[in-house]
Every structure is written in structure tokens, then in C-alpha cells.
Amino acid sequence: MQSVDRAVAVLEILAQHGEAGVSEVAAAIDVHKSTAFRLLGALEAHGMVEQENERGKYRLGFGVVRLAGAVTGRIAVTRHGRGICERLVDDVGETMNIAVLESHHAINLYQVRGSAAIAAQNWVGRLTPLHCTSSGKVLLAHLAREERDALLAEAGLPRLTPRTVTSRKKLEADLSAAREQGYAITLEEYEEGLNALSAPVRSGDGEVVAALSASGPAFRLTVERMHELAPLLVAGADELSQRLVHAD
């Protein structure tokens, strides 16, 4: 942990000052020059820092840009999706969420609660399973088969409610339907009494980068109601996709 703390401190120093030599870094984090040299060498090997020349000062490398790019994309999805979610809450009347893939989970980045929401359920920051949530199914549906196989092998298909899909064959049928109709639905698969539908959000190259979902109580968000609302949700997801394209 000490090495990680020191490495992060080095990156923060370079971010603040633009560049720094080994002696400056060592003094700033209160370590011997040899320790600072090893830290900088390890960061340089991963592209996190770079030198102008063999004995020059260090500065942040393009590896930091690569990592920041993933975060920037998520921030863009949230920023451009806020207004869409707020409008859809008024149109749909249910809670809206934006989720992205995080390892073998879906993570919710943004939420707007519906006015008729029964409980103050906050999904933001929560990791949810891919196989039994509408967002997860949308994200899974548009992965390459090999990547999907790897994620599901790691996560498994645990049963969370009596209606959770635990058969790979049935799940693949659901994912195929999601691709064909342009949205996915779940019926009390993650939580009893909770239904949801989700549509894909795409980047400029057509890759699915997020899922826009609506969720609510099963007695109100029925199968029939979800299929009625689906065109609104798909249109909202398509609008968000277009905003991401123009933001690039």
C-alpha cells in the first residue's frame, strides 16, 4: 500500500508542477533518491510518466490520457443524459438510470427518481448483475460472444429470485430478443416486485457504451406497459447516442 500511495503522490506532483526531476520528487514525497528513481521507473514502464531525454525531468505520459479517456466517456454519458432522463421521468413516470459495464457487473452512474416511486431506492454507484437486470442484458447482448462467455463464466448465473434466469440457453434467447427488438426487459428477476426495461446507448462507432433504463413496481410497470413505453425509451437512448457522437 505504501508503494501505491507513493506512486499516486508522484503522479499528483507531476500533474501539479508539469514536470519534476528525481531529486524534486524524492524531496516532495520524503524518500531517498533511489526510491524515487525506482517509482518513476515503474511508472515510466507503464506509460504513466515519460522523460524528455535520458537524464531529463519527468512529466505525465500518455498512459494517463488512456486511463482518463475511459472516465471521460462515462462523464460524457452522464452529462448528456441528465436532461433526457429528467424528460423521460415526466413522460414515463418511472425511475430512470444510466448504467455502464464494469468488469462482470453493470454500474449505475446516474438516476432520476420517478414521482410515483414507492421507496427512495438509490441505484447510483451500485454494482448489479448482468444476467438478471435489463441494463445488464442490454450490455451483454451487444458484446462479442467470446467476451460475453468470459464475463458470464466469471460471474455465473446465480438465482436471486424465483424468476431469475439461470439457464444459459434461456439467457441467450433473451439477449437475442434484446438485439432484435432494440430493448431488454426483466420481470422480477433481480428483486421481487421490480420490473425494468432498458435500451442501448451507442458511441460514434456504433459500440454500445451504456444502457438507459426505466424501472418500477411490477404491478404498475407490467409487460404490456413496458412494451408501450419501449419506443419512448429507445428514442431517448438514440438521442443520447447522437449527443455523444456530436460531443466527440
Domains 2-60 and 70-247 share a fold: no
C-alpha distances in angstroms, 121 versus 117, 129, 215, 224? 8, 17, 11, 24
Please tell me the distance from the alpha carbon of residue 100 to that of residue 143, in angstroms, as a whole number: 13
Q: What is the CATH T-level fold of the domain 70-247, as seen in this structure? A: Beta-Lactamase (3.30.450)
Per-residue pLDDT, 107: 87
Mean pLDDT by 10 residues, the chain (248 residues): 82 84 89 89 88 77 68 75 91 91 87 69 80 96 94 93 95 96 96 95 90 94 95 95 82
Burial category of 209 from C-beta neighbours within 10 Å (exposed 0-12, middle 13-18, buried 19 and up): buried
Q: Using CA atoms, how far apart are residues 54 and 182, in angstroms rounded to an integer? A: 54
pLDDT at 114: 78
Q: Which three cell numbers stand for residue 186?
A: 426483466
pLDDT for the residue 4: 82
Indicate the domain borders of the chain. 2-60, 70-247
CATH 1.20.1560.10 fits 2-60, yes or no: no
Using CA atoms, how far apart are residues 154 and 82, in angstroms rounded to an integer?
32
- Please report the pLDDT score of residue 165 as a whole number: 94
DSSP class of residue 124 equals B
